[in-house]
Amino acid sequence: MSKLDAYVAERSKKNPEFAQIVEQENINLEVAVKVRDLRANMGLSQREFANLIGKPQSTIARIENGSMNASTKILSEIAQATNQRLTIQFSPAF
C-alpha cells in the first residue's frame, strides 16, 4: 500500500464524508477513462461522439475530464448509441 493509499484509508476511517468524496472521484475517473477510450477507439472527436449520443460536446468534455457525475441514464444512452453493454462493478471502499 502506498503512502497515499494509507493516508486515504486512515482519513476515510475518521471522516465518512471524505470517504464518500474519494469514492465518487474514483468513479468519475473510471468513467472518464472508459468513455474517452470508447470514443477514441471509435475514431470520433468529442463533437462527433456527442452528436452520436444526442448530447452537447460540453457534456462529453465534462465526463472525460472527470468533473461530471455521469448518471446511469447518460451512461445507458452512451452504451445504446454505441452498441456497447453497460456493466457496473462495485468494489469495497477503504
User: Which pTM does this prediction carry?
Assistant: 0.83
User: How many CA atoms lie within 13 Å of 35's alpha carbon, on the beta-carbon side?
Assistant: 32
pLDDT band of residue 88 (cuts 50, 70, 90) is confident
Instruction: Say if residues 47 and 77 touch (Cβ distance below 8 Å).
Output: no
Beta strands in the chain (DSSP E): none
Which one-letter amino acid corresponds to residue 64?
A: E
pLDDT digits 0-9 by tens, 12-66: 999 999 999 999 999 899 999 999 999 999 999 999 999 999 999 999 999 999 9
List CB contacts of 75: < 8 A, sequence separation 6 or more.
31, 86
User: What is 23-81's CATH superfamily?
Assistant: lambda repressor-like DNA-binding domains (1.10.260.40)
Domain ranges across the chain: 23-81
